[in-house]
Structure 1
Amino acid sequence: MTPAEPNPAPAGTPAPLPAAVPGSLHAAVLQSLDDDQAQDIVSIPLEGKSSIADHMVIASGRSTRQVAAMAQKLAERIKQQGFGHCRIEGLPAADWVLIDAGDVVVHLFRPEVRSFYNLERMWAFGDSGNA
């Protein structure tokens, strides 16, 4: 391996997030989740593949309390940054919280619930073979 080549990620390590356009709603969502120590953040581009949103972001929290707090802070930050109001579903139980911010849809899970529903696999476009 030459110094110019990046080190490959160890097996089981999540892929790096795609670069978000600075100042975009997508970037604001990713930054908020990172600030709140969300785990295993995955961003799935939907532009041209689905009309529901341009991006789907999936992340985990360590507990229902953290999932609820991340969802509420995310909605506040999106509003403060001028991207408008979000719709939030699932907040009372906080096992799976959906935040619809328009062009970005965010799913926040407790880890067990996330692995059960496995949205990443369901929405993996163009992945070959892994059925």
Structure 2
Amino acid sequence: MRSDPAHSAHEGPAGAESSTESPGLSPVLDVKALERLILDRLDDDKAQDIVHIDLTDKSSVADSLIVASGRSHRHVGALADHILRALKENGFGKARVEGLPHCDWVLIDAGDVVVHLFRPEVRSFYNIEKIWAVDAPHRTAAN
């Protein structure tokens, strides 16, 4: 039994190895694969205004932050659902998620990568990219 009930999102179930420690892959490659999976899924699902922020050496919370918008509550919910399924299907374990009931702002904590999905009005209100001083040149265009 775990002595610390509030274990990190980087850890799997009690006694299990971290989902970011795949056999044969270095943690850096695994983070890049996780980022690529999420970015590709968002692009495939027509997410809008996708921003990828590298937090390496800037935060102890995560190595990467991905922010994107959906056109509506339903689109944000679908984006989140598809990311969660892709993570599980590709061996990245079960991510923690907040905000699914309302789908104005959904947060997905996949361990080394944190994803924020917003409706456009909510995103502009919170302006989360400004916290990390992300300018337009750093944005990844959604095709």
More helix, by proportion:
2
1:124 CA drift (Å):
1.8
| Residue in structure 2 matched with residue 49 of structure 1 by the alignment | 58
**SS, match of residue 25 in structure 1:** helix
| Residues in 1 aligned to 2:81 and 2:105: alpha-carbon distance in whole angstroms | 13
Alignment of 1:70 with 2:79, yes or no, is yes
After TM superposition, list the pairs within 5 Å mapping 1:1-131 onto structure 2: 24-124=33-133
CA deviation string 1:64-106 (max 9, x = no partner): 0000011011000011011111111000000000000001000
Any gaps of 5 or more consecutive residues in structure 2?
1-28, 136-143
1:122 CA drift (Å):
1.0
| Residues in 1 aligned to 2:118 and 2:127: alpha-carbon distance in whole angstroms | 10
User: Aligned residues: percent identity?
Assistant: 60
Q: In the alignment, residue 68 of structure 2 is paired with which amino acid?
A: A
1:123 CA drift (Å):
1.5
Q: In the alignment, residue 81 of structure 1 is paired with which amino acid?
A: N
- Aligned residues between the structures: 106
| Residues in 1 aligned to 2:133 and 2:61: alpha-carbon distance in whole angstroms | 15
| Residues in 2 aligned to 1:47 and 1:83: alpha-carbon distance in whole angstroms | 19
Instruction: State the TM-score, normalizing by the size of structure 2.
Output: 0.71
Any gaps of 5 or more consecutive residues in structure 1?
1-20
| Residues in 2 aligned to 1:102 and 1:28: alpha-carbon distance in whole angstroms | 14
RCO (CA 8 Å, sep 6+): is it higher in 1 or 2? 2
Give the aligned CA root-mean-square deviation in angstroms: 1.6
| Residues in 2 aligned to 1:91 and 1:68: alpha-carbon distance in whole angstroms | 6
| Residues in 1 aligned to 2:102 and 2:63: alpha-carbon distance in whole angstroms | 27
**SS, match of residue 24 in structure 1:** helix
CA deviation string 1:38-71 (max 9, x = no partner): 0000001001100111100000000000000110
Q: In the alignment, residue 90 of structure 1 is paired with which amino acid?
A: G
Instruction: State the TM-score, normalizing by the size of structure 1.
Output: 0.77
